Structures are given as structure tokens and as C-alpha cells.
Amino acid sequence: MVPWPRLPDWTLTTNNTNLTTNNTKTTNSRGPNSAAGPNQLAAAIEPPAATLPLLGHGVAELEAWAQTQGQPAFRGRQLHDWLYNRGARSLAAITVLPKAWRQQLLQLPVAAPAPWGAAAATPGEAAVAGLQPAGDPEPGRCLLGRSQLLHRSDARDGTSKLLLATADGLSIETVGIPAGDRLTVCVSSQVGCPMACRFCATGKGGLQRSLAVHEIVDQVLSVREAMERRPSHVVFMGMGEPLLNSEAVLAAIDCLCRDLGMAQRQITVSTVGVPKTLPTLAERALERLGRAQFTLAVSLHAPDQQLRQQLIPTAHAYPLEALLEDCRHYVAITGRRVSFEYILLGGVNDQPRHAEALATLLRGFQSHVNLIAYNPIEEEDFQRPSPQAVEAFRMALVRRHVAVSVRASRGLDQDAACGQLRRRLASTGPAA
């Protein structure tokens, strides 16, 4: 059962398809055989069940849901094909479905996402009845689980950043990053972020809520449509802290592999570190996915606790030693090495002494270090390091036998840093 404040007096529960909420009829207080007037009958009939967005569900679930709607199971397979292979954005586009059924589906109330901290019927989603918006240019978009494109920003290097609107009117960023035959999609896991990293534009606005499974998967489909090519890799490095929404993140990984044909090794989950979550993530990944082959990337950004707390205020609750111990537990459970991310801030953490301290910190660890040159944001005075400083830092690690690479900076001419586009358009509005 899903408790929810300020709702009328009916109870919402989910059935075993995880798609439709069940309601039981209210019994008239005068007994089942008592006559009732129009007002009593109206009070006894419960509102229609809320339906979860269809995106994020597999073939078997969609088949079962179609049957609950009085349709044959193959209609669920058709929905699956049009959702994942054809990228349908409206019910009108799915012409293989009977027109009468499509019209009926437009009347279904769709479950709304859960605000941060609220109880949810399924990971990242709450069964709150809300009719689809009237006058939507893409009717049925909310039922399908698709977002609305608010703005697209294309950089000279081919990187494309999309600003997407959720069904409840919030906005999130996703980025398509082409590199030869590869197309990497950087997805968000939350609307905003509570971690408050000083160098990150997203953290400046705080957290509004976590994203539901369909809202994560939709980002990959949106980039595929915008760039007209199939994504090869997905990185959870956009807005939000994935480990604060781990169930929805794991469900999205499951969907990406099962329904879009990706492999776990093509997916990376990045975290700044949340106490006591890494071993749990490893265990839940094994339970949910059967194996944990995605890459875990842990954002260090400093070789000692004092400097890390200056850059990441929430790190005071998670000492470096405890974070690294949890990383070791993760490696022991999954058998996969951990990648450590390190943003280089000019004159702050990019000196040779920092590289030497980092090498000492990671000595004997099954890991890889990914160096990232800082992308400046307006709210902070941090500087981007010089190419010479980046190379000197890299060579200092190489000499100490640390596996290291430097991430190529992309989209610098178009709000490259996470959260920049969203904050700029929130203050100025989309460009004409």
C-alpha cells in the first residue's frame, strides 16, 4: 500500500504486472443490499486506477498489461516494438494498435513521479492518479513515458546537449557525445543533486526529486532520436547522485540491456560516495541483474580528506578511508575493478604533490584513475588547468605504476559542465 498525503480517501496498491494500480470498491455503510441514492453511489465508486508509464517495462510485463486492458497479448509485443525499436512518442504514432483502444488509453490516469523522500509504489515512482495533460501535441506521451524536448544545444565538436521536460514540469539534462563509431549518452539520475560539490553547477540548485526508470531510459531514446544513431555506451554522470536512486538506476540498466540490446560493460555508474551504499549496490546488482559488469566510477577529486571536504562538503560524513574500504568490498563482491575520477582544478589539486599523494592512497588497489580537466562554471572561480599541468599529473601517476587516462573535454563551447544549460535557461529562458 502506498501512503500519500492530501489524496482523496482511496487506497492504491500495485498488482504483479507493476503497471496498473488496483482499487477495491468501497462498501456502503448500510450493507450490500441497501438502496442508495445518487450521492451515495458516487461516493462508493472509486476513481480509475493509475497506470505506470509503459517505458521501462519488458515484453512479458507489457503483454500482461495489454491483457488487463482486454487486449490480446500480442498487443503488448507491438507496444514493446514501437517503444524501444521505433521510439514512438505518441499513441497516434502506433498505428498498429486499434484506433478505439488508443482513444481509450488516452483517458487513463498516469502515475506521477514521487517527490524526494516520498513513499513509492515501485523504485522511483509513486501511484498518484493524475490525468494526462489536455492539449498535448503528442497525445499519450505521458502514458508511454516519453519526455518533451525543451532545448537542444550543439557544440562544434558534435556533442549535443538536450534539456528535457518531465511529466510534472521539471527539467533534466542529457548529453550525446560522439567519438568515431561510439556514441556515449550521459544520463541524469535525479532532478538536481543534494551532494553540493563546489565545482558542479547542478549542486547549486539542490535536489527536487529522483528520476523514475522511464525517465532515465527516455534520455537514451531522446539522444538516439536527436543524433539519428544508436547509442553504444551510457554513463550515469549527469545530474544527481545515482546511489541515492540506486533501485531505479539498476532497473534502468536492466531495461537498457534487456530491451535496447546494450551490454553492462558499456555502462558506467558514477558516484561521489554515499556511506554504506557500495556493498549494497554490489549485492543488489547481483540480485537484480544476475551479475555486476557495469563500471563503477568513484569521484575522489582530492588525495586527502581535508581537501576533499573543501571541494565536496558532504564528504565530511564519509572519510576517505571508509570510502576506499567500501570500494574494496565492492571489488571483492563483484570481481570488477573500480575507476576513480579526479577533476583537476588549476592551482588547487593539480600539483605534483597531489599526484604523489593520490598514488600513495591507491597503492595496491585494483583500480584505474580517470583525469578530467575542470569545465568552468559561473558560480565559482576555479580555473581550468593548463595542458602541461594535466600531462605532468598524468606522468607522475604513470611513474608510480598507477593505471591512468585523461578524459577528452567535449562541448566546451556549449555549457559543457553538468547542469549549466538547465541553470542558464532557467534564468534567461530558451533562446529564440
Please, what's the b/e burial string for 289-305 (b: 16 or more CB within 10 A of its CB; e: otherwise)? beebbbbbbbbbbbbeb
Report how far residue 100's alpha carbon sits from residue 105's, in angstroms, rounded to the nearest whole number. 9
Task: Tell me, yes or no, if the two domains 13-22+46-142 and 147-428 fold the same way.
Answer: no
How confident is the model at residue 423, as a pLDDT?
53
Percent of the chain with pLDDT over 70: 78
Per-residue confidence band for 419, with pLDDT thresholds at 50, 70 and 90: low
Per-residue confidence band for 425, with pLDDT thresholds at 50, 70 and 90: low
How confident is the model at residue 123, as a pLDDT?
37
- Is the distance from CB of 166 to CB of 212 less than 8 angstroms? no
The CATH H-level (homologous superfamily) assignment of domain 147-428 is Aldolase class I (3.20.20.70)
Per-residue confidence band for 4, with pLDDT thresholds at 50, 70 and 90: very low
Query: What is the mean pLDDT of the segment spanning 254-268?
Result: 98
- Lowest mean pLDDT across 32-46, 62-76, 338-352: 32-46
How confident is the model at residue 112, as a pLDDT?
79
Q: What angle do CA 357, 361, 363 make, to 5 degrees?
A: 115
Is residue 173 annotated as part of the catalytic site, yes or no?
yes
- Name the catalytic one among 63, 173, 215, 241: 173
- Name the catalytic one among 142, 186, 200, 418: 418
**Grid coordinates in use for 301?**
577529486
Write out pLDDT tens, residues 88-144: 999 999 999 999 999 999 999 998 776 665 544 343 333 333 344 555 678 999 999
Q: How far lies 174's CA from each of 8, 84, 128, 155, 160, in Å?
A: 36, 18, 26, 14, 9
Query: What is the mean pLDDT of the segment spanning 259-273?
Result: 98
Share the mean pLDDT of the chain: 84
Per-residue confidence band for 261, with pLDDT thresholds at 50, 70 and 90: very high
DSSP 122: B
**Grid coordinates in use for 317?**
560524513
- 153-156 long-range contacts, CB within 8 A, separation 24+: 153/414, 153/415, 153/421, 154/414, 155/410, 155/411, 155/412, 155/413, 155/414, 155/416, 156/413
How confident is the model at residue 166, as a pLDDT?
95
Is residue 325 annotated as part of the catalytic site, yes or no?
no
Neighbour-count burial of 42, counting CB atoms closer than 10 A to its CB (0-12 exposed, 13-18 middle, 19+ buried): exposed
Predicted TM-score of the model (pTM): 0.85
DSSP 205: G
**Grid coordinates in use for 267?**
555502462
Report how far residue 113's alpha carbon sits from residue 126's, in angstroms, rounded to the nearest whole number. 6
Which of these, 349, 398, 389, 329, lies nearest to 369 by C-alpha position? 398
| Domain ranges within the chain, ordered by starting residue | 13-22+46-142, 147-428
Write out pLDDT tens, residues 41-95: 344 445 556 789 999 999 999 999 999 999 999 999 999 999 999 999 999 999 9
Q: Residue 405 forms beta bridges with which residues? A: 370
Which of these, 287, 288, 286, 249, lies nearest to 268 by C-alpha position? 249
Which CATH architecture best describes the domain 13-22+46-142?
A: Orthogonal Bundle (1.10)
